[in-house]
Structure formats: C-alpha cells, structure tokens
Copies of this chain bind each other. A is one copy, B any other.
Amino acid sequence: MSENPTAAVLVIGNEILSGRTQDTNSRTIAGFLAPFGVILREIRVVGDFEDEIIAALNALRSRYSYVFTTGGIGPTHDDITADAVAKAFGVGIDCHPEALAALSARFANPADFNPMRQRMARIPDGASLIANPVSAAPGFQIGNVFVLAGVPSIMRAMLEDVAARLARGRVIVSVTVAAAVAEGAIAAGLAAIQATHASVAIGSYPVYRSDGYGVQLVARGFESAAVEHVVGELFALLKAAGGAPQRL
C-alpha cells in the first residue's frame, strides 16, 4: 500500500472532546476516499486551541499525502481554523474577493452581512476555494490540506469539490464474511491464512448479538483474485468450525 496516496483527518472542535457531539465526518471522509484509492491512515481530534491545531496540522501534512480538516470555519469567535492554518503554513490571511462575493450574495439586506460573517471570507494567502453549495461560506485548499466545514451536511457537499483535486491510487477490494462462530475458535486458522497471504489484510471483528456470538472477517487487498482466494479459505475455515458463512 506504500505507493497509494495517504490521508489523515484532523477534526477541530471542543464539542467532540466534551462528548457533546459524535464525530461522523471522519467516517464519511474514509468512505469518500476509498474509491479513489486514497488510504486514510490517521484521525486526530483536537480542541479549539490555536497551538494544538497548528502542531497537529504540521505533523500530519508532512506525513501524509492529504489532510482533511473539519470544523472551525464559521462566523463566531471560536472559529479559528483559518487563522491557525495560515500560521501553520507561515502565510498571511485576508479577505478573498470571490468568497466575499459568494457570501454577500446570501444577504438581501447588506446590513446582515456583518463583520463577523465577513470573517468567513478570510482565506490564507495562496489557498484555492472549496465551494459550499449549502451555505456559501467556502472551505479552502492550501498545499495538501483541505479545510472543510464541521456541519456534516456542508462537509459532505464540500467533498464534491475536492474529488477532482485528488490523485488516485489502486482501489482496495474489501470482502466481509460473517458467521455465528466465536473468533477464538478460528483464530489459529485465521493466523495461518494471514501468514500465507501477505498481500491480503485479514481483520477479525467479534459480533455480540442477543442470540449469541459471531464474527465478521474482512479481507482487503489490491488484487481481487487474491482477495477472493482468501475469502474461499475463510469460508472453508468457518464451515470447519461449524458455521454457515455468509458474504455480506
């Protein structure tokens, strides 16, 4: 997988760390990236503190092909992502004419486009805008970093404008097989299959259902034939353990 583009997500917001809000954007981004062959390698969540945003962003952008940030680009005092990103890149930040125009068009009464709302047009120097078809306030791309909204519906809409900008890698083929077998009963067999098929990563996930134990086995790799070969061995293993495996 080392030749594939890689990515990290940096979730910014006290509301995630306080437990108030369940982050779902990371999973959305993971699903979005899969068909591009971009491999999500890490997720970090930090609070609304400039130093922490800068440190995390610089650590991640130097390590992965892409970083996606979510959150902190609204109009209020606790929205500090754009400034933090500018500082992380060591560039200035100013009102972007195109962003200002897009936002301004949202307000029939010019007085409603107040200075705090105008803050949402502040974009780091050298960044390109990411369209926000939901609420106009744009995201932006600077270098390998995509700065997106935190509201899930807006974040999803912004990803549409990100798609064309991504390099592509080989897509991972993933097959899941489930059976009502305890994973401890097949663990040795699984390890043996994994040991002889290095190109396919096998994950084992126990399922606790009201009607008893089960397991879901996930085979992932670039070569469909190799994945299917492993899936055949997983079926045989689960059947030998008394299960009736099903492909999910």
Residues of A within 8 A of B (CB): 11, 14-24, 26-28, 30-31, 34, 39-48, 52, 74-78, 112, 114-117, 119, 134, 151, 153-154, 172, 174, 176, 183-185, 187-188, 190-191, 194-195, 201-206, 208, 218, 220
Contact = CB atoms under 8 A, between A and B. Distances in A.
Contact of A205 (B21, B28, B46, B185): B21
Contacts of A26: 16, 23, 45
Contacts of A116: 184, 187-188, 191
B19 A30 contact: yes
A238 B209 CA distance: 46
B203 A14 contact: yes
Nearest to A31: B19
A42 B45 contact: yes
Contacts of A47: 41-42
A43 B40 contact: no
A41 B134 CA distance: 31
A30 B18 contact: yes
22 contacts: A14-B201, A14-B203, A14-B220, A17-B40, A17-B41, A18-B30, A18-B220, A21-B205, A42-B46, A74-B184, A74-B204, A74-B206, A77-B204, A78-B194, A78-B202, A112-B185, A114-B184, A114-B188, A116-B188, A117-B184, A117-B187, A154-B208
